């Protein structure tokens, strides 16, 4: 279902992520730590786990999350608080919360409404510059997070089912590319367009 979003020229930068990487495993979390980030929230469906596998996990329980669990333990050792913010249901959220030992969760979050991010800021008594969010949706996660003023990290969609809902994401991506703000490259292209915190995407001016 398409969501109401503001695509006026002055709002386009709200769709541009601060970090863009292949997966949650590829983000340079040290650079986020150096920036002063204290709390990192993660989307679930197609960010931590593929949507189609999460559908199965709904019935049989969590499986196949060894790498994510290890990464989250590493982040805890670095001193981050870890939160799950998902539009998915309570059962999926609680399953991931328990399996990955996260600190808090918000389910049925209604992203891109920034309220879920604002609730997290209040819970941890931090300002927006102390929080980052990681997700696969340029609309739900990046637009929503940027509206709340937090650092935003985009990763590629893990599964295949979610592509059914990508029409709005595709349209927004084309507008950003047309305005020389951001582009989603092909996953197998040479000279990829991924970038870490503080870096710029190659060939993109990032100014409206």
| Alpha carbons 39 and 206: distance in angstroms, whole number | 26
**H or E element in which residue 57 lies:** helix 51-60
CA distance 134 to 148: 14
- Residue by residue, pLDDT tens for the chain (208 residues) are 467 899 999 999 999 999 999 999 999 999 999 999 999 999 999 999 877 666 556 555 665 688 999 999 999 999 999 999 999 999 999 989 999 999 999 999 999 999 999 999 999 999 999 999 999 999 999 999 999 999 999 999 875 655 555 678 889 999 999 999 998 876 655 556 899 999 988 877 655 4
Task: Tell me the sheet residues that pair with 19.
Answer: 153
Q: Identify which of 18, 29, 39 has the alpha carbon closest to the alpha carbon of residue 126.
A: 39
Q: What is the pTM of this model?
A: 0.91
Q: State how far the Cα of 51 lies from the Cα of 54, in Å rounded to an integer.
A: 5
Domains of the chain: 9-178 (3.40.50.1000)
Residue 202 backbone phi and psi in degrees, to 5: -60, 130
Q: pLDDT digits over 98-149, tens only?
A: 999 999 999 999 999 999 999 999 999 999 999 999 999 999 999 999 999 9
At 127 the pLDDT is 98
């Amino acid at each position: 279902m398409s969501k109401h979003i503001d695509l006026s020229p002055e709002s386009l930068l709200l769709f541009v992520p601060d970090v863009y990487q292949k997966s949650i495993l590829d983000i340079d979390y040290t650079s986020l730590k150096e920036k002063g980030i204290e709390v990192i929230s993660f989307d679930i469906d197609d960010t931590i786990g593929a949507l189609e596998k999460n559908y199965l996990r709904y019935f049989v329980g969590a499986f196949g999350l060894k790498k994510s669990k290890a990464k989250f333990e590493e982040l805890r050792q670095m001193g981050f608080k870890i939160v799950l913010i998902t539009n998915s249901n309570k059962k999926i959220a609680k399953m991931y919360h328990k399996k990955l030992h996260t600190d808090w969760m918000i389910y049925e979050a209604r992203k891109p409404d920034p309220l879920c991010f604002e609730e997290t800021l209040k819970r941890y008594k931090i300002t927006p510059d102390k929080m980052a969010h990681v997700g696969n949706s340029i609309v739900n996660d990046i637009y929503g997070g940027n509206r709340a003023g937090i650092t935003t990290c985009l990763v590629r969609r893990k599964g295949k089912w979610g592509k059914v809902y990508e029409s709005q994401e595709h349209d927004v991506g084309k507008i950003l590319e047309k305005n020389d703000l951001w582009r989603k490259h092909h996953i197998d292209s040479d000279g990829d367009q991924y970038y870490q915190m503080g870096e710029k995407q190659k060939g993109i001016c990032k100014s409206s």
